[in-house]
Amino acid sequence: MNQGQTVFAQLMQFVSHNDFGRCVERYNGNRRVRGLPCWQQFLAMAFAQITGRESLRDVEICLGAQGRRLYHAGFRGPVKRSTLADANERRDWRIYADFAHTLIAMARPLYAQEDLGIDLEGTIYALDASTIDLCLALFPWARFRRAKGAVKLHTLLDLRGPIPVFIDITDGKVHDVKVLDQLVPDPGSFVVMDRGYMDFERLYRLAQASCFFVIRAKANLQCRRRYSRPILSETGVRSDQTVVLTGVKSALLYPGPLRRVSYYSAELDRRLVFLTNNFALPAATVAALYRCRWQVELFFKWIKQHLRIKRFFGTSANAVKTQIWIAVAVYVLIAIVRKKLHATHSLYTFLQVLSLTLFEKTPIQSLLQRFDASVSPDPHGNQLPLFDF
């Protein structure tokens, strides 16, 4: 596999240049571009994401320090801070959004057989949003509150992976529930949501599209019980009922029956109530599906901690969206490489190993083996010798 190529060049071999070129042509990304074409911009920003650079000056200095190795990593020459800043401001962010979706289409089949611990044939999605705080004086377009700016990442996550299949970046004022208007889920799939998405008109639209949902109910839910099902109390289920809505507006917006499952969580010492339009699953499985929703929270936590989406290299909406979409593309690319190399390491470990070895001319598999050898546990490693012979 390795023919004198750097680790960075090996990573980019998993990227289809033809697919990237089609994304660029779709939005005329390289039109009247002289210094830094879109591919070089992507390489520089991907380098910044993988190695955790803090600013464009940081990117310029670190790439400039590599000298001749830049060519072997795929760069045509040194990357100037001002040139990269102009590219982030002017190149259409949709180029990198489309390319990220291309990588997502590659990654999802690789993780389709991942075990979630739930025996379900349909695809399971988790829907949630995360807010990234911004300074309103620097990002006036990203209004959130009176004296605060923010952008929101509305994300639909395929829990087998987990791989994001839909991301919408909006300003902080956009309500989470509005993203349901843009979703086109697969028939027979499950969408798991928190109670912030409780909008019966939109939920009924999901049900009419043959999509199942599991959502946490609000405390003021107005409904009438039609009948109850037998339960197994040792599973934590306290009630399993078929209900109809009785609110003046909600009964009109969702005229069909719903299933109401009450579940006691011993870990949280709380009783949770879920609503779903699926009447075939065991009640304990409905609760387990909602528990899987936590993976989308872990996804947000992971990308915020290990990728650069909280500190931005530009202040325009285009620069912010470009940086976020390239971060998503890098996340999915690393997930693809990890799976294709059959690496057993966590995504975090894999990223950290790559971040320190990008310009080494070593096969990635050898890097992982070398890492395994260096951290192999010593049965006497933390035991000091009693006698020195």
Q: Is residue 178, in this structure, part of any structural domain at all?
A: no
Query: Does 219 lie in the same domain as 285?
Result: yes
Query: Does 265 lie in the same domain as 215?
Result: yes
Distance from first CA to last CA of the chain, Å, rounded?
Answer: 48
Query: Does 263 lie in the same domain as 335?
Result: no
Q: Determine phi and psi for 270, rounding to 5 degrees.
A: -140, 155
Q: Which amino acid is at 253?
A: L
- The neighbour count for residue 6, using CB atoms within 10 Å, is 22
Query: Is residue 179's pLDDT more than 70?
Result: yes
Helix (H, G, I), strand (E, B) or coil at 182: coil
Query: Does 12 lie in the same domain as 78?
Result: yes
Q: Is residue 103, in this structure, part of any structural domain at all?
A: no
Query: Does 282 lie in the same domain as 242?
Result: yes
Confidence of residue 372 (pLDDT cuts 50, 70, 90): confident
Domain's final residue, options 292, 327, 357:
292
Query: Is residue 21's pLDDT more than 60?
Result: yes
Query: Does 269 lie in the same domain as 206?
Result: yes
**Domain range enclosing 332:** 7-95+315-368
Cα(317)–Cα(327) distance, rounded to whole angstroms? 15
Using one digit for the tens of pLDDT, what is the confidence trace for 103-152? 999 999 999 888 888 878 888 999 999 999 999 999 999 999 888 999 99
Q: Is residue 270, in this structure, part of any structural domain at all?
A: yes
Query: Is residue 386's pLDDT more than 50?
Result: no
Q: Is residue 115, in this structure, part of any structural domain at all?
A: no
Query: Does 18 lie in the same domain as 88?
Result: yes
Using one digit for the tens of pLDDT, what is the confidence trace for 197-217? 999 999 999 999 999 999 999
Using one digit for the tens of pLDDT, what is the confidence trace for 286-302? 999 999 999 999 999 99
Helix (H, G, I), strand (E, B) or coil at 38: helix
Full-model pTM: 0.90
| Res 183: pLDDT | 87
Q: Is residue 172, in this structure, part of any structural domain at all?
A: no
Contacts by residues 200-208 (CB-CB < 8 Å, ≥ 24 positions apart): 200/245, 200/249, 200/250, 200/253, 200/254, 201/253, 201/254, 202/177, 203/254, 203/277, 204/253, 204/254, 204/255, 204/256, 205/180, 206/180, 206/277, 207/254, 207/256, 207/277
| Res 119: pLDDT | 79
- The neighbour count for residue 227, using CB atoms within 10 Å, is 7
Q: Is residue 306, in this structure, part of any structural domain at all?
A: no
Average pLDDT, the chain: 90
Query: Does 65 lie in the same domain as 18?
Result: yes
Number of domains the chain contains: 2
Query: Does 348 lie in the same domain as 273?
Result: no
Q: Is residue 203, in this structure, part of any structural domain at all?
A: yes
Query: Does 345 lie in the same domain as 271?
Result: no
Q: What value does the mean pLDDT take over residues 92-111?
A: 95
Q: Which amino acid is at 380?
A: H
